[in-house]
Amino acid sequence: MNAKKNVVVTGAGGTLCSVIAVDLARQGHNVVLVGRTLDKLRRTEEEIKAFGGSCICVTADVNDETQVKVLRDKVHEVYGLVTVLVNGAGGNQLDAVTTINEFDPKELEDERDGLRGFFNLDMDRFMDVIRTNTMGTVIPSRVFAEDMIEAGGGNIVNFASMNTYRPLSRVPAYAIAKAGVSNFTQWLAAYLAPAGIRVNAVAPGFFVNERSRKLLTTPDGGLTPRGGHIIYNTPMHRFGEARELIGCVNFLIDDEAAGFVTGITVPVDGGFLSSAGL
């Protein structure tokens, strides 16, 4: 992807997509940083501006099509048509995560002492997780694919997960959503192929971010039981680093290197999917 492109990165204030956004700007592309929290976007913007890169920050809720269309109008005013979209917005919510791995009769009782099972999850938060990860991918794709059609082609990169392949314990809403992202990636790739738009996804393994740090690590820098189990089942025996996603994303949006690649989801997981844990 040598020619300068106009790139939208949603979730650009997050641990993973901030690094991807900075790399894209370093390559000389115009990068639109999108997220709900301006302060987080500003940190990414400052890093880009420090080396003279081109970017703008726009706050928007990617679940709201009206807001995403307003976002597109702002981008047109500054940069013009968008031909690369990285759908990185997503994540999980604590109230949609169980505290147990299997059914416990206590979750049906009135007094549960903090125990959170499938039967007493907050269904509003459950739906929020599904909505943000699925519709937060569908809506920006629909809005910015119109730009790509007008431009004669483009690329969309979605964010899947290890949950795309295995429904990991404790995170049912997130698992549903990320399985859906991969399926939608395939569907949209076939649908948009006649328009010259390639649609692919990256599936990160276990990368520690602000939200997962408390679940996977201890205050003294050690591992929680869940974190230790993940490392045991990851052949490379470590968590991933955000910069290790850059090569995969760059490959997927490179029309020369990956011009015949569409509809795939690429795991970047340290071998997690190759291990049965035995």
What residues act catalytically?
Answer: 174
Nearest alpha-carbon partner for 56 in 14, 20, 103, 12: 12
CB 235 within 8 A of CB 271: yes
**For residue 111, what are the CA distances in angstroms to 18, 170, 242?**
42, 20, 41
Nearest alpha-carbon partner for 269 in 218, 231, 221: 231
Q: Taking CA 51 as the corner, what is the angle to CA 91 and CA 5, rounded to the nearest 5 degrees?
A: 65
261: enclosing H helix or E strand: none
CB atoms within 10 A of CB 177: 27
Which residues lie below 8 Å from residue 213, measured CB to CB, with a gap of 6+?
Answer: none
